Amino acid sequence: MRFFRDLSLGAKVAASFAVVGVASAVAGLGTFATFTSSTSASTSVATGTVVIALGATGASTNRLNINASTVAAGDTIQRSVTLSNTGTIDLSGVTLTTTASPSSLLDTDATDGLQMIIEKCSVAWTEAGSSPAFTYTCGGSTTTVLSTRAVIGASMALANLSSLTAGSSDTLRITLTLPGTAGNTFQGLSSTISYALTATQRTATNK
């Protein structure tokens, strides 16, 4: 009887070990060895600037602040100004908007009121005369930037500008003319013309 009990106990022990072995095998199924690799990179992104500027006032680079008085029918008023692209981005265009305050027939009459033309010289304009009656001649080639039109206008596109390219500039001559057809109703009037230039960046591209 004791012999059979010992066998029975031995069977039970063996069976217990078998169960433990199976559990260990199942636990081992969740353990893996994996290969890994990593790398990285960085890119710096910096934006450019759109900046246009007029030349220093008080010199031939900007005479727009000089007033004209005792103007008669048929007279012309010439003023020089340098327009520069001082930003780092090329431009698709530059527009000019002119306004008047105070206002009068000088700027509201599109036919007999002040007429304006803007031209550029391939070199610096040669200034003559004394303030305020300056005149300008071009020692190079002259190109029209804005054709003759009434002095007041909104978002007028300027053509043939070198300053569309970053770092470049244009030497401009703005000429205002009071037509000879301006009658007595134009006597004793006064208008102050303001010039506002707006630049637009070039077309978007890949960088």
CA 79/CA 15 separation, integer angstroms = 111
Report pLDDT digits (tens) over 120-137: 999 999 999 999 999 999
Calculate what percentage of the chain has a pLDDT beyond 70: 85
Mean pLDDT on 170-175: 98
Please state whether the predicted TM-score (pTM) of the whole model is above 0.85: no
Instruction: Give the pLDDT confidence score for residue 58 in this predicted structure.
Output: 87
Cβ(90)–Cβ(108) under 8 Å? no
Higher-confidence position of 27 and 168: 168
Is a pLDDT exceeding 90 seen at residue 102?
yes
Instruction: Give the pLDDT confidence score for residue 87 in this predicted structure.
Output: 97
CA 79/CA 172 separation, integer angstroms = 8
Mean pLDDT on 143-148: 98
Instruction: Give the pLDDT confidence score for residue 176 in this predicted structure.
Output: 98
Lowest mean pLDDT among 18-22, 117-121, 198-202: 18-22
Residue from 156, 131, 128 nearest 144 by CA: 156
Strand, coil or helix: 67: coil
CA distances from 12 to 130, 139, 153 (A): 124, 117, 107
Report pLDDT digits (tens) over 46-87: 999 999 999 999 899 999 999 999 999 999 999 999 999 999
